[in-house]
Amino acid sequence: MTIKHLSEIDIVKASNSKINEVDFENLAFGNVFTDHMLICDYKDGKWQKPIIKAYEPFLIDPSAKVFHYGQAIFEGMKAYKDENNDVWLFRPDENLVRFNKSAVRMAMPEVPEDIFIGGLKTIVDIDREWVKKGLGNTLYIRPFMIAIGSGVIAQPSTQYRFMIILSPARSYYSGEVKVIIAEHFSRAANGGIGAAKAAGNYSAQFYPQKLAQEQGFQQIIWTDDATHTKLEEAGTMNVFFRINDTIYTAPTSERILDGVTRKSLIDLAKREGIKVEVRSVLVDELVAAAKDGTLKEIFGAGTAAVVNPIVGFSYKDVYYELPKLENSIALDLKDKLTKIQYKLAEDTFGWTSKI
Ligand SMILES: *Cc1c(COP(=O)(O)O)cnc(C)c1O
Looking at residue 302, its amino acid is G
- pLDDT (0 to 100) of residue 5: 59
Q: What is the pLDDT of residue 1?
A: 53
Atom of ligand 1 nearest to the CA of 238: 10
Ligand 1 nearest-atom number relative to CA 304: 9
State if residue 235 touches ligand 1 by the CB under 6 angstroms criterion.
Answer: no
pLDDT at 7: 66
Burial 52-68 (b: 16+ CB within 10 A, else e): bbeeeeeeeeeebbbbe
pLDDT value for 6: 66
- The ligand 1 atom at the shortest distance from the C-alpha of residue 301 is 8
Pocket flag, ligand 1, residue 50 (CB < 6 Å) = no
Per-residue H/E/C for the chain: CCCCCCCCCEECCCCCCCHHHCCCCCCCCCCCCCCEEEEEEEECCEECCCEEEECCCCCCCCCCHHHHHCCEEECCEEEEECCCCCEEEECHHHHHHHHHHHHHHCCCCCCCHHHHHHHHHHHHHHCHHHCCECCCEEEEEEEEEEECCCCCCCCCCCCEEEEEEEEEEECCCCCCEEEEECCCCCCCCCCCCCCCCEHHHHHHHHHHHHHHHHCCCCEEEEECCCCCCEEEEECCEEEEEEECCEEEECCCCCCCCCCHHHHHHHHHHHHCCCEEEECCEEHHHHHHHHHHCCEEEEEEEECCCEEEEEEEEEECCEEEECCCCCCCHHHHHHHHHHHHHCCCCCCCCCCEEEC
**Phi and psi dihedrals of 266, rounded to 5?**
-60, -45
- Atom 10, ligand 1: which residue's CA is nearest? 237
Interval between CA 302 and ligand 1 midpoint (Å): 5
Q: Beta strand pairing status for 36-43 and 46-47?
A: antiparallel
Q: Please indicate whether residue 302, judged by its CB atom, sits closer than 6 Å to ligand 1.
A: yes
Ligand 1 mutation pick, 106, 206, 237, max ligand atoms within 8 A of CB:
237
Measure 92 CA to ligand 1 centroid, in angstroms: 14
* Cβ(237) – ligand 1 distance below 6 Å: yes
Answer positive or negative: Cα dihedral of 262, 140, 42, 66: positive
Look at residue 353 in the predicted model and tell me its pLDDT: 95
Q: Per residue of the chain (355 residues), what is the pLDDT tens digit?
A: 555 556 689 999 999 999 999 999 889 889 999 999 999 999 999 999 999 999 999 999 999 999 999 999 999 999 999 999 999 999 999 999 999 999 999 999 999 999 999 999 999 999 999 999 999 899 999 999 999 999 999 999 999 999 999 999 987 767 789 999 999 999 999 999 999 999 999 999 999 999 999 999 999 999 999 999 999 999 999 999 999 999 999 999 999 999 999 999 999 999 999 999 999 999 999 999 999 999 999 999 999 989 999 999 999 999 999 999 989 999 999 999 999 999 999 999 999 999 9
CA 197 to ligand 1: nearest atom: 15
d(CA 21, CA 5): 30
Please give the distance, rounded to the nearest whole angstrom, from the Cα atom of residue 305 to the centre of ligand 1. Answer: 11
Given the CA of residue 76, which atom of ligand 1 is nearest to it?
Answer: 9
What is the predicted pLDDT for the residue at 180?
98
User: Residue of the nearest CA to atom 12 in ligand 1?
Assistant: 236
Q: Is 141 in the pocket of ligand 1 (CB under 6 A)?
A: no
Q: Is the CB of 35 under 6 A from ligand 1?
A: no
- Mutation probe of ligand 1 site: the residue of 102, 144, 205, 238 with most atoms within 8 A of C-beta: 238
